[in-house]
Amino acid sequence: MDMKEAEKATARLLEIMDTLRRECPWDREQTFDTLRNNTIEETYELADAITDKNMDGIKEELGDLLLHIAFYSKLGEEQGAFDYTDVANAVCDKLIYRHPHVYGDIHADTPEEVKQNWEELKLRKKKRKSGTLGGVPVSLPSMVKAFRIGEKAAATGFDWQRREDVWEKVREELHEVDAEIEAKDKEHLTDEMGDLFFALVNACRLYGIDPEAALERTNKKFIRRFNYMEQQAADSGISLHDMSLEQMEEHWQAAKKFE
């Protein structure tokens, strides 16, 4: 990367942001609160581009997120709270502090050791009254949040001794789901379904699988197969509503062969 070009591009972005805040009616009206949902949407669009391995899309969505960082920094500057330089320096200081195996005399030879040191340093630095799990953002999607909770708990040693043992927990939760189905207790069934999801997310963590990415792959696979089945029905001059389950299954299996 050409550092001078990177500095010029950053300066250009910040100058454009200044101009937009002065001269654009829409940009002048924005606040931290009005931008929040847009930022979340942009983050998901980046996640989609990454999942699709779309490098042009990743570049575009990173630019959109960078714009949001510049925008929030401008808002902070206008309120006298912080500016872009403060934001950049803060993350630089944080990275140096949390990488003592690079900038200090701590040894960490594996990614797992780095991650454990990272979590310990975060707790030590922030001295959270809420403890180990206090740093998990409330607004995270539930599956991502469950994964982060499991990671943070595991960093303290609260984890299965062998990853294979997690399946006993999964089976236990599945048995409890079955019991609540028999009892026809929707409130308790909701709790047990949540426990089952949580156990499965922890299983993903222990086996090095991103549960969000895994589920999204299944979502896309289902959409492909369902669209194929629907198209086959349309080509036959009928709708899915007019097909039997046996006919649907036949087209479904045919869709699998094309993958």
Nearest to 146 by CA among 198, 200, 216, 192: 198
What is residue 221's predicted lDDT score, i.e. its pLDDT?
92
Residue 29 is encoded by which pair of tokens? 């009206």
Cβ-count burial of 147 within 10 angstroms (0-12 exposed, 13-18 middle, 19+ buried)?
A: buried
The answer to whether 3-97 and 130-212 have equal CATH topology is yes
Does 128 have pLDDT greater than 70? no
Residue 134 is encoded by which pair of tokens? 């206090």
Domain boundaries, the chain: 3-97, 130-212, 213-257
Cβ-count burial of 199 within 10 angstroms (0-12 exposed, 13-18 middle, 19+ buried)?
A: buried
Task: Out of 58-67, 84-93, 99-108, pick the least confident.
Answer: 99-108
Cβ-count burial of 123 within 10 angstroms (0-12 exposed, 13-18 middle, 19+ buried)?
A: middle
pTM of the model: 0.67
Task: Give the CATH number of domain 3-97.
Answer: 1.10.287.1080
Largest CA distance in the chain: 72
Q: What digits encode the pLDDT tens for the residues 104-117?
A: 777 777 887 777 77
CATH class of 130-212: mainly alpha
What sections of 24-110 are H helices per DSSP?
A: 25-29, 32-51, 55-78, 84-97, 100-103
What is residue 215's predicted lDDT score, i.e. its pLDDT?
92
Q: What digits encode the pLDDT tens for the residues 187-223?
A: 999 999 999 999 999 999 999 999 988 998 899 999 9
Cβ-contact 111, 58 below 8 angstroms:
no
